[in-house]
Amino acid sequence: MTLEIEPQLLAVEPGYRNVLRVRLAAALLAVTTGAIAIDQLLLRATTLHGVLTALVPLFAIISIAVVPQRIYRRLGYRLAGEMLHSVHGWTFHTDTLVPFVRVQHLDVTRGLLDKLFGTASLVVHTAGTHNSTVTINGLSPERAAEIRDVIREHVRSDVA
């Protein structure tokens, strides 16, 4: 299988924004519930009563609307010759190049949310200890399998 060298980074699947939204909503639901409980149980007799109950849910709603889109826009990948190039990170930017000759093992994974929104992750395990696992989230299942197969063929041809 031959895949053309991509001249620029490719975006992940649009459905991955929904995966990010649901994950963030679940985390913020726990934070919001805790803040409301603190507000109702510990701050009832203070002048701050009601502040957490009003502000934390508002913060959560704004975060769910803004953060996944910002994360999504900063995800990208490409095959560059015999290297896999992965970029991610909004607050902390990571730009990773993985030479195919360093690849030890490849996985395509799909969790419940991935299945629901039509995405998958390619997990590339490399030789070494530091940053020995590179994950590209938000690929279509077909694209993840295609990239896995391309890398696997390169690894086989290097061994032979």
CA 9 to chain centre: 15
User: Is 5 within a domain?
Assistant: no
- What pLDDT is attached to residue 4? 57
What is the domain range of residue 34? 16-71
Residue 2 has pLDDT above 70, yes or no: no
For 11, other C-beta atoms within 10 Å of its C-beta total 13
- What pLDDT is attached to residue 158? 64
Residues 100 and 139 in one domain: yes
Q: Contact 84/147 with Cβ under 8 angstroms? A: yes
How many separate domains does the chain show? 2
Q: Integer distance in angstroms from the first to the last C-alpha of the chain?
A: 17
- Rounded to 5°, the CA angle 70-75-77 comes to 165
User: Is 97 within a domain?
Assistant: yes
Average pLDDT over residues 93-122: 95
CA-CA distance, 103 to 76, in Å (whole number)? 19
Residue at a domain's end among 71, 86, 113: 71
CA-CA distance, 34 to 38, in Å (whole number)? 6
Residue 5 has pLDDT above 80, yes or no: no
Residue 7 has pLDDT above 90, yes or no: no
- What pLDDT is attached to residue 6? 59
User: Is 116 within a domain?
Assistant: yes
Residue at a domain's end among 71, 88, 108: 71
Residues 81 and 153 in one domain: yes
Mean pLDDT of the chain: 92
Q: Contact 84/20 with Cβ under 8 angstroms? A: no
Q: pTM value?
A: 0.86
Residues 114 and 134 in one domain: yes
**CATH code assigned at 150:** 2.30.29.30
Helix (H, G, I), strand (E, B) or coil at 6: coil
Q: Contact 108/145 with Cβ under 8 angstroms? A: yes
